[in-house]
Structure 1
């Protein structure tokens, strides 16, 4: 099963303004609508948590920077997702990750104090938020376990697909700006393994190398999707 689907299965079934109104009328009536364009930042890691968000539409990448200087992408949040649930339930009130908008997002912004109070007094709302966290943790654990057994070429293809979806511009050509050591570190393979995968994909015309950098056009992107679907990776 696609791990992104696993991560959002529960929320896709329950998402929507009407669902939020049913489980928490107080939250629904006090939330304010916000809209963030593709490429924007909804919350920034390390900043104080001032609001929680209920996602009505769109998608966001969950990213975090580690001590080695690399930025890692963990998962995708879609319709029905709650943002800042972990920060509030843990009592830290410091954003644990950065959320980058992958598709234009519409969300309801909730004052964090009201969000915390509702968790303490509304059992249905608490159950929904807790179920979301459990669903995300399960999908993340499943994905990490599966990823250990994927071949280097498989990991590389998944990374390239994600990069294209994240950075696609008006010309429908994406250039991977990161160096190969950085890419290898992010996807958990050696530079040598990455180089072999890149050479293979280049020979298959699935990518293009320009001045040492990987570029992907729309046709090549579709080829990568087909490759991933054939191996049940995507």
Structure 2
């Protein structure tokens, strides 16, 4: 459901119970383990969804954007705390409401309730399809797959990855040390180049990376 449609059809009694908030890039909107008392409808910007574990390792497994909802799964599951951390990836504007208001909105508006169900399904499907698989991939293969995904269909003579090693580690569910080791292996294999610490991939390396069979 489009954001404009959602906002246009928001019942007035629900609208009166909401507030508008802005989060700057890097700010945490909800943190894993905090009381799940609010739900947030994103009206502008994007967020990173990650999970932190007792070992200190963090795994970024999803991204949310305009018209997506933060906290819906936790509230609808009847859980008292948020299951994951949601952090603004850019300047992010949201409409905030109490969990009770969110539930009330769903009872009042069947179309909104169906839209929420579809959004939840869209969130859960890729997580179910990929998260478990990537967890068991060898670390170098995970890094290789990550770089291919970042390359996508981009056509450029020189691709420069500006993402930090910590963020790469979070995105593929491993440690910075493991990422650094993988980066060196790919560099030694001639599949990437390092320039002032950043990963760069020229035209020939891009094709070689796509053709490569990576071994640990």
TM-score (norm 2): 0.71
Deviation by residue 1:71-122 (Cα, 9 ceiling, x = unmatched)? 1111111111011101211111311111111121111112222112222332
Give per-residue Cα distances to partners, 1:179-209, cap 9 Å, x unaligned: xxx77x8249xx5x98355322355373539
Q: Give the aligned partner of residue 86 of structure 2.
A: 99
Equivalent in the alignment of 2:165: 176
Structure with the higher helix share, 1 or 2: 1
Alpha-carbon distance, 1:67 to partner: 3.1
Instruction: Check whether the contact 1:159–1:187 (CA below 8 A) recurs between aligned residues.
Output: no
The alpha-carbon distance between structure 1 residues 126 and 221, as it changes in their structure 2 partners (threshold 3 A), is farther
For residue 74 of structure 2, give the secondary structure of its aligned residue in structure 1.
helix
1:1-234 to structure 2, matched below 5 A, reads: 14-16=1-3, 18-26=4-12, 27-144=14-131, 147=134, 153-157=140-144, 159=146, 175-176=164-165, 186-187=173-174, 195=181, 198-201=184-187, 204=190, 206-208=192-194, 215-216=197-198, 220=200, 230=210
Could you tell me how far 1:161 is from its partner in structure 2? 8.8
CA contact (8 A) 1:51 1:84 kept: yes
- C-alpha RMSD over aligned residues: 3.9
Partner Cα distance (1:119, 1:73) in 2: 29
Give SS of 1:24's match. coil
5+ residue gaps, structure 2: 151-160, 212-216
The 2-side partners of 1:120 and 1:221 are apart by 52
Report SS of the residue matched to 2:43: strand
Could you list the runs of 5+ residues in structure 1 that have no partner in the other structure? Answer: 1-13, 164-171
Q: Evaluate the alpha carbon distance shift between residue 226 and residue 142 of structure 1 in structure 2; reply closer, same or farther with a 3 A threshold.
A: farther
Tell me the residue number matched to 1:9. none
- Classify the secondary structure of the residue corresponding to 1:52: strand
* Superimposed CA distance per residue, residues 141-168 of structure 1 (whole angstroms, 9 cap, x where no aligned partner): 22236647967545214556999xxxxx
1:46 Cα offset (Å): 0.9
CA drift at 1:44: 1.0
